[in-house]
Amino acid sequence: MDLRLTEEQLALQETLRRFIAKDYDFERRRSLALSPLGYSAEAWAQYAELGLLGLPYPEEFGGLGGSGVDIMAVMELVGQGLLLEPYVSTVVLCGGLLRDAAAHAIKEALLPQIAAGKLQIALAAYEAAGRYELAHVASTAVRDANGWRLTGRKSVVLDAPSADYFLLSARSSGNRTDVEGISLYLVRRDAPGLTLQAYPTHSGGRAADLHLQDVYIDDDAVIGAPERALPVIERAVDQGIAALCAEAMGIVTALNAATLNYLKTRKQFGTVLGSFQALQHRMADMFIAAEQARSMAIIAAIQANSDDPATRRRALSGAKAYIGQAARFVGQQAVQLHGAMGVVDELNVSHYFKRLTMIDMTFGDADHHLARFSDALRIEPIGAAS
Amino acid sequence: MNLNYTAAEESFRAEVRAFLAAELPADIRSKVRLGRRLHKDDLVRWQKILYRRGWGAGMWPRRYGGADWSVVEQHIFDEEGAAAGAPPQIPFALRMVAPVLMNFATAAQQNCFLPRIISGQDWWCQGYSEPGSGSDLASLRTSAVREGAHYRVNGQKAWNTLGQYADWIFCLVRTSSDARPQQGISFLLIDMKSPGITVRPIVTIEGEHEINDIFFDNVQVPVENLVGEENKGWTYAKFLLLHERTNNAGIGNCKRALKRLKEIATHQLHNGRPLIEDSRFRDRIAQLELELMALEITNLRVLSAVSTESRAPGPEVSLLKIKGSEIIQQLAELQMHALGHDALPYLREALEADWVPAPLLADHYATFAPPLTGQYFNYRKTTIYAGSTEIQKNIISKLILGL
Ligand SMILES: Cc1cc2nc3c(=O)[nH]c(=O)nc-3n(C[C@H](O)[C@H](O)[C@H](O)COP(=O)(O)OP(=O)(O)OC[C@H]3O[C@@H](n4cnc5c(N)ncnc54)[C@H](O)[C@@H]3O)c2cc1C
């Protein structure tokens, strides 16, 4: 076992740390969040130069062949800097999905473009009535003489407004909650019949609800096995979850540092807040929560691309549930211990807290993943009682 | 012991209900129900309607225009109001400065201010906290220097709720630095139109303008606006805080939020089934309902004891503040969670009353989704203001438990 980051990973983090300090301070981030695009196009180009956008792809597709731990190292800094760029959607989720499941020709056409910062893709997998269930797909795909005809709605597609393509799930057979019968389509943003209702999110990014009315797709835009796309989508979402876990860990670390600093400097009753034992113990609990969360983020990063779905389920649902709870605790307490300063827009504490909350609500909240983790226990072999 | 309402209480409830059905304006009701923004005019309009009915300040004694309501009657009124979608009565005037005026002010001050408060003519805000003085309020530094018939006030008040609307501010100011900090504080009433006052908005976590910094630059305040004695303000301030906390359980508001949560969980689907059928989520609702059931009775027990012994509320109101604030926070959190990923969109424009959702949005955007996440964020304040949870626990451990 080796639980340390490599020299390269630490160097990558240092590069990002310097980039954030120089080009992405809190005020800059605030104006980006309010801008029409919602993120920095220049930053995106810089990420491409640094190799971040091709990090998880094989070299033959313009990538660096990086691991889940490499992504974790990046995402921790994405969290600390509250970076707004659609890294998870394009690079981790959709690029990762194409890498794992697309035909060679599609990988060749799209992955180098992603790596170069020229192409963005968003995952359109969730529907309102399904909540966090990826198998709940009511959108339909019907085969006719002109190709696949897609109709339906997708809700809260993250980073949709800036995407060039969507990876979109639709059903060509079965009931709306069946595991089988779901296919995945690569849909151009400007496909006739596709409309977007775009909006900002509470943590500064952009998203949209998608409406499809007779959108036609060719056969070669079907990704993975037709009608058996669910495992492919789940695997990609697991990688997205690992990335979000690392982002949350980065935020928790930053919030703890900010709160600790506040406890050491803010004075009331003639002494620093940190001299009150109730707050010392709270801070100690926050520290413990952060360490535990980091361990779970490591488990998630290492198992995110495991070929065994059961191993992934344990690791990723476990991590998302645990980190959701830990982040809730740390986020709420960081706000609380800052007093009124914790609830103002002017200070980054409230923004970290909002981002943690939105991370919990993305790809299934803590309860959702606790349920999945706990359901998996029912089929676990226990061994004979001794 | 008897948990049933008496016939008189039941008939009071019927009276309140009929009044609300007839008099609560439909536009205000709809804003409250949908969680849209309430503007000053909405709140003042409602106060005036209550005043016309004789219920402008039900708990006040009759001699000041109140209705002498019992604790139970006030509870019924709050509960019915919340259920009907009535807006809250802003507490700064009615429940904070008014009790101080009744107990410590001169007849002239009472006659000047109380009628204008109950009728909704004047809007008051609370000038206690300062950037350096939050939990440790007694360290406040805003100074008032006596110069003939005036005090000259200089300093800064922070986190002032809805001061942008206010006609008057009641302020704690330092009039002496000689003795213990608590002994040099005075309670001043200041006209917000006085030259030298600047109100600077502070945007809070959810993106709204609810609080302000207020700066005092050589503001002249007539000596008649001092309440009680100079340097005795801390006594009045503490009296006020205890009154403030009696209101913090917010049972009516919690009950409305609980009902709303159940509606949302019934409407929202989880893999095609109503979310409320999911036992994990339902257990969370159940847990909160239990807390609220207990707090409703605790609240009545504590407040009735105060009222039958006709004394000022004591440290026991701290527990109402702690529990009430935690319950409303958790209700708001569950409401947000019920939305699933629909909690992510930030539709700021959707908080205005005339907002019509784009046709591509799901139908719950019109009925409940847009304000819920912001409300969860906003309600983080409830465990911070009016004496933080930590400060309330210090009070309980010291003053009740003797630790
Ligand atoms: C939305 C909002 C509206 C407000 N409206 C008003 C208003 O209208 N008028 C007004 O005067 N004020 C208002 N306040 C201010 C409020 O009263 C203060 O925020 C509160 O008193 C806490 O002070 P502080 O923010 O300075 O936090 P601090 O006092 O700095 O406290 C920071 C943290 O330390 C904890 N702490 C402090 N002392 C101790 C201790 N001895 N033991 C253990 N823990 C401790 C606190 O609980 C808190 O968690 C408002 C605040 C908010 C957030």
ipTM of the predicted structure? 0.97
What pLDDT shows up at residue B271? Answer: 82
| 8 Å CB contact between A116 and A47 | no
Task: Give the tokens for residue B357.
Answer: 């959702």
What pLDDT shows up at residue B192? Answer: 98
Q: Could you tell me how many helices (H) and strands (E) chain A has, helices first?
A: 13, 10
Q: How far is the CA of A336 from the centre of ligand 1 (A)?
A: 9
Tens-binned pLDDT, residue by residue, of chain A (386 aa): 888 999 999 999 999 999 999 999 999 999 999 999 999 999 999 999 999 999 999 999 999 999 999 999 999 999 999 999 999 999 999 999 999 999 999 999 999 999 999 999 999 999 998 999 999 999 999 999 999 999 999 999 999 999 999 999 999 999 999 999 999 999 999 999 999 999 999 999 999 999 999 999 999 999 999 999 999 999 999 999 999 999 999 999 999 999 999 999 999 999 999 999 999 999 999 999 999 999 999 999 999 999 999 999 999 999 999 999 999 999 999 999 999 999 999 999 999 999 999 999 999 999 999 999 999 888 877 766 55
The domain defined by B248-400 folds into Butyryl-CoA Dehydrogenase, subunit A; domain 3 (1.20.140)
What pLDDT shows up at residue A85? Answer: 98
Residues of B in contact with A267 (CB under 8 A): 132
Q: Which residues of B323-354 are buried (b: 16+ CB within 10 A; e: fewer)?
A: bbbbbbbbbbbbbbbbbbbbbbbbbeebbeee
Chain-chain contact of B341 with A132 (C-beta, under 8 angstroms) = yes
The B residues from 188 to 207 touching A (CB cutoff 8 Å) are: 202-205, 207
CATH level 2 (architecture), domain B124-232: Beta Barrel (2.40)
Task: Name residue, tokens 């849909």.
Answer: A187
Euclidean distance between the first and final Cα of chain B, in Å?
A: 32
What pLDDT shows up at residue B210? Answer: 97
Radius of gyration (C-alpha) of chain A in whole angstroms: 21
Letter for the amino acid at B237? Answer: A
Task: Give the tokens for residue B364.
Answer: 């719950």
Phi, psi values for residue A84, rounded to 5°:
-100, -10
What pLDDT shows up at residue B153? Answer: 98
Alpha-carbon distance A320 to A246, whole Å? 10
**B189 CB neighbour count, 10 Å cutoff:** 23
Q: A214 vs chain B: nearest CA distance in angstroms?
A: 16
Residues with CB under 6 A from ligand 1: A 266, 268-269, 273, 276, 278-279, 336-337, 339-340, 343; B 125-129, 134-135, 159-161, 211, 381, 384-385, 388, 390-391, 394
Chain-chain contact of B341 with A130 (C-beta, under 8 angstroms) = no
Q: Which atom in ligand 1 lies closest to the alpha carbon of residue B162?
A: 8
Task: For chain A, say whether B384 makes contact (Cβ under 8 Å).
Answer: yes
Residues of chain B with pLDDT under 50: none
Chain-chain contact of B360 with A197 (C-beta, under 8 angstroms) = yes
| 8 Å CB contact between B88 and B253 | yes
Alpha-carbon distance B69 to B80, whole Å? 15
By CB neighbour count within 10 A (0-12 exposed, 13-18 middle, 19+ buried), where does A375 fall?
Answer: exposed
What pLDDT shows up at residue B117? Answer: 98
- Domains located in chain A, CATH noted: 7-120 (1.10.540.10), 122-227 (2.40.110.10), 231-379 (1.20.140.10)
Q: Which of B271, B373, B384 sits opposite A343 (nearest CB)?
A: B384
User: Where does A266-365 have alpha helices with state H?
Assistant: 277-303, 309-312, 318-337, 348-360
Alpha-carbon distance A111 to B322, whole Å? 54
Q: Determine which of B135, B205, B209 to mutate to test the interface with A (most A C-beta atoms within 10 Å).
A: B205
What pLDDT shows up at residue A384? Answer: 63
Q: B370 vs chain A: nearest CA distance in angstroms?
A: 11
Query: Which one, of B122, B203, B225, B206, lies nearest residue B165 by Cα?
Result: B122
What pLDDT shows up at residue A386? Answer: 54
| 8 Å CB contact between A206 and A141 | no
| 8 Å CB contact between A122 and A163 | yes
Q: B190 vs chain A: nearest CA distance in angstroms?
A: 24
What pLDDT shows up at residue A138? Answer: 96
Q: How far is the CA of B168 from the centre of ligand 1 (A)?
A: 22
Domain coordinates in residue numbering, chain B: 7-89, 124-232, 248-400
What pLDDT shows up at residue B309? Answer: 83
